[in-house]
Amino acid sequence: MGRNIFFQWLKSRKCNSKNYNMAKVRGAVVVDKEGCKGCGVCVEACPQGVLELNKEVNSRGYHYSYMKSPEACTGCSNCGVVCPDTCLTIYRVKVLE
């Protein structure tokens, strides 16, 4: 394929919201409830304010973390990176809008 023909082909593939479904990434966090010591570091680290410490306690007496606003999670993984006990598993899924 010649160079000009290639660029013409590329332009013809230009994304158009009328004929493309836009994909958005959403995240989901699974908390190891029994492993959590309720330090709150993940709550502070989340830029979306998704996480909160539960009023309930786990078997060790700690207020474990949970997703208070799951719809706001972007799957950025900040919470998982800062958790000192690796209690958080982050999943990312593409959703069509």
Q: Which CB sits closer to ligand SF4, 8 or 69?
A: 69
Cβ at position 93, least distance to ligand SF4 in Å: 12
CA–CA distance, 13 with 5 (Å, rounded to integer):
13
Sequence-ordered strand ranges (E) for 1-97: 23-31, 51-53, 65-67, 88-96
Cβ at position 60, least distance to ligand SF4 in Å: 11
CB atoms near residue 53 (< 10 Å)? 18
CA–CA distance, 87 with 32 (Å, rounded to integer):
5
66 is an interface residue for ligand SF4 by CB under 6 A: no
The residue within the footprint of ligand SF4, chosen from 9, 24, 30, 85 (CB under 6 A), is 85
Put residue 42 in one of left, alpha, beta given phi > 0 → left and psi -120 to 50 → alpha: alpha
The residue within the footprint of ligand SF4, chosen from 37, 52, 57, 68 (CB under 6 A), is 37
Give me the residues that bind ligand SF4 (CB under 6 A), please. Answer: 27, 29, 31, 36-42, 45-46, 48, 50-51, 65, 73-79, 83, 85, 87-88, 90
